[in-house]
Amino acid sequence: MRIALLEDDPDQVSIYTLWLQNSEHSVKSHGTAADFLRAVRRDSFDLYLLDWMLPDLSGIDVLLKLRGEMQDFTPVLIATAKDQERNVVQALEAGADDYLVKPLRQKEMLARVDALARRASGGRPKHESFDADPYMLDMEKKRVAINGTDVTLTSREFDLAAFFFQNAGRVVSRSHILEAIWGIENADVSTRTVDTHISRLRKKMQLNKSNGWKLSAIYQHGYRLEKQDTVQDQ
């Protein structure tokens, strides 16, 4: 997963980053609420891990901005030394998905991160095949069919298609796509490559209203695959 970490203690940033990267997660860390909010406005992530006590805004203030003003419903895990019941309730009522009390324990943190990932995917295992009528994606064989008819895709194109369907309804940034499909921070691949692959995928998979799905470019943000009402052009 691609995780945005908001934590002002450099030692804790190093520890959490090490734990998460060793579990094959990508981590972008931010030491202030202002830096974090700027980052999530221009980029996309699978999970936010937020400290409560920060030098500018509190983690709860950040959470309220995400859920309210920004209408961002990315899963949020609050990590804080505040351990009273009223603090847990406050965080959950503000929109947090889970709550951990510091000092964090490695296995517990990673288990909760994985649990939030499963919840975000509707409980479906990452590599399980799924239907998105009229599309069927066979994750094991890397096969896509439309109304039962196979579509010929390269391995990279299949991975890109699966990524979009797994994130349907979300705006995903080009840098997020680069990390997920080409590898973390691959300097040899440009965003132009992303755009070219997406254009080819859109045509091959006929992602248009007639099939009930639309893959759109979102200006200055990235792309979004959305379920559409199936209508005939008049």
Instruction: Calculate what percentage of the chain has a pLDDT beyond 70.
Output: 92
Average of per-residue pLDDT across 89-104 = 96
Instruction: Looking at the structure, tell me whether residues 95 and 20 fall in a common domain.
Output: yes
Last residue of a domain, one of 120, 139, 163: 120
Mapped onto helix, strand or coil, the DSSP state of residue 224 is strand
Residue 206 backbone class (left: φ over 0; alpha: ψ -120 to 50; beta: rest): left
* Residue 232: band (very low, low, confident or very high) from pLDDT cuts 50, 70, 90: very low
Instruction: Looking at the structure, tell me whether residues 140 and 203 fall in a common domain.
Output: yes
Residue at 43 is within a domain: yes
Average of per-residue pLDDT across 106-128 = 82
Residue at 33 is within a domain: yes
* Residue 118: band (very low, low, confident or very high) from pLDDT cuts 50, 70, 90: confident
Q: Which residue reads 């009223």 in tokens?
A: 86
Instruction: Looking at the structure, tell me whether residues 50 and 76 fall in a common domain.
Output: yes
Residue at 39 is within a domain: yes
Instruction: Looking at the structure, tell me whether residues 162 and 221 fall in a common domain.
Output: yes
Q: Is the pLDDT of residue 126 over 80?
A: no
- Count of domains observed in the chain: 2
pTM metric for this prediction: 0.83
Q: Which residue reads 């970490």 in tokens?
A: 5
Residue at 190 is within a domain: yes
Q: Residue 112 CA to chain centroid, in angstroms?
A: 16
Instruction: Looking at the structure, tell me whether residues 142 and 205 fall in a common domain.
Output: yes
> Lowest-pLDDT range, 40-54, 71-85, 206-220?
206-220
Q: Residue 43 CA to chain centroid, in angstroms?
A: 10
- The secondary structure element, H or E, covering residue 138 is strand 135-138
Side-by-side strand order, sheet with 2-6: 26-30, 2-6, 47-51, 76-80, 98-101
What is the average pLDDT value for the chain, to the nearest integer?
90
Instruction: Looking at the structure, tell me whether residues 108 and 138 fall in a common domain.
Output: no
- Check which CATH number belongs to the domain holding 45 and give it: 3.40.50.2300
Residue 93 domain boundaries:
2-120
Is residue 87 within 8 Å of 102, Cβ to Cβ? no
Predicted pLDDT of residue 33: 97
Instruction: Looking at the structure, tell me whether residues 112 and 146 fall in a common domain.
Output: no
